[in-house]
A and B are shown apart, each in its own frame.
Chain A
Amino acid sequence: QLHLQESGPGLVKPSETLSLTCSVSGGSIRSNDHLWGWVRQPPGKGLEWIGNSHFTGRTNYSPPLKSRVTISVDTSKNQFSLKLTSVTAEDTGVYYCVRRWGENGADFEYWGQGIMVTVSS
């Protein structure tokens, strides 16, 4: 059974960079059929897709966040990461790492437990 686990700081200062890592166990990140990405949920709000990456480095980002987001895959560690620059309070929320199946749907088969990130000075 695939398991995803997020890690990273729970508090980030405004204007700084949010950095999270997702460790994958129970399966290889070197999968041709899957994408590795992030979904977030601001407090009291719904789910928001951030973006994803194939293990080959091919990425796809949500247009509103594209200028600030980088998702990268480290096949040697079976991990992938999220970097979100110039954060504001609007970036506060629970961040989930996900495995996505296919690029033309919303099929997120596996989710991490989520990590709460607060943007505050």
Chain B
Amino acid sequence: QSVLTQPPSVSAASGQKVTISCSGSSSDIGDNFVSWYQHIPGTAPKFLIYEDHKRPSGVPGRFSGSKSGTSATLDISGLQTGDEADYYCGTWDRSLSIVIFGGGTKLTVL
């Protein structure tokens, strides 16, 4: 069961920008850092964003994260066909003592 809410799908044209939202509550997103992952089916998920907005080494600047209150967003600019993937947000829920993920958002680049 996914406690964080993400839109099932988003789409945008190549070269454009897309925003993926992740909604939670005061005990999860509102109280802890958010991470984001890119998952191309059949491959290992890739660590994209940590501590709400920081990028691990090697992640292009086209990927950016932010958070406000109990919601987080992932922005992807300059969309490329290679960005087509499922994107997941995740955080720690202090009240449940559990890592929780969103249900995932499928990105289609038109």
Residues of A within 8 A of B (CB): 45-49, 60, 62-63, 96, 101, 103-114
Which residues of chain B from 27 to 51 have a CB within 8 Å of any chain A CB? 32-35, 37, 39, 43-47, 50-51
A106 touches B2 (CB 8 A): no
Query: Given contacts A46-B2, A47-B88, is CB(A105)–CB(B44) below 8 Å?
Result: no
Residues of B within 8 A of A (CB): 2, 32-35, 37, 39, 43-47, 50-51, 56, 88, 90-92, 94, 96-104
B56 touches A106 (CB 8 A): no
Q: How many A-B residue pairs have CB under 8 A?
A: 69
Between A and B, 29 residue pairs with Cβ closer than 8 Å are A45-B103, A46-B2, A46-B101, A46-B103, A47-B90, A49-B101, A60-B97, A62-B98, A63-B96, A63-B97, A96-B44, A101-B50, A103-B92, A105-B32, A105-B33, A105-B35, A105-B51, A105-B92, A106-B33, A106-B91, A106-B92, A106-B101, A108-B37, A108-B45, A108-B90, A109-B47, A111-B45, A111-B47, A114-B44
